[in-house]
Amino acid sequence: MIIEREYRDRREKLGKELAKKSITVLWSSSYQTRSNDTEFPFRQNSNFYYLTGFKEDNSSLIILKSKRKIKTILFVQKKDKLLELWNGKRLGVKK
């Protein structure tokens, strides 16, 4: 089982490889409709999952590199009790 430290180390390694004063944006996968109200099973974007370990849809990872430091930001969906009844619990920020 990979722990959060491993994902952080991966992001830092990527950040070190980036050019000075750069930005990298990665998006998670989203649900794909199969027919009318049926969706394909969700599969996270491999690169996004490798760097974050985050399994939810509609998220993005921003890696900012300045001269002195590397900063990462993870954007996630808001919590929504009604949608969580249908789609499962979200780890996102409270609404």
Alpha-carbon span 22 to 64, nearest angstrom: 6
Please state the three-class secondary structure of the chain as a single string: CCCHHHHHHHHHHHHHHCCCCEEEEEECCCCCEEECCEECCCCCCHHHHHHHCCCCCCCEEEEEECCCCEEEEEECCCCCHHHHHHHCCCCCCCC
pLDDT score recorded for residue 95: 57
pLDDT for 3 equals 87
User: pLDDT (tens digit, 9 = 90+) per residue, 17-31?
Assistant: 999 999 999 999 998
What digits encode the pLDDT tens for the residues 39-95?
888 899 999 999 999 999 999 999 999 988 999 999 999 888 898 888 788 888 765
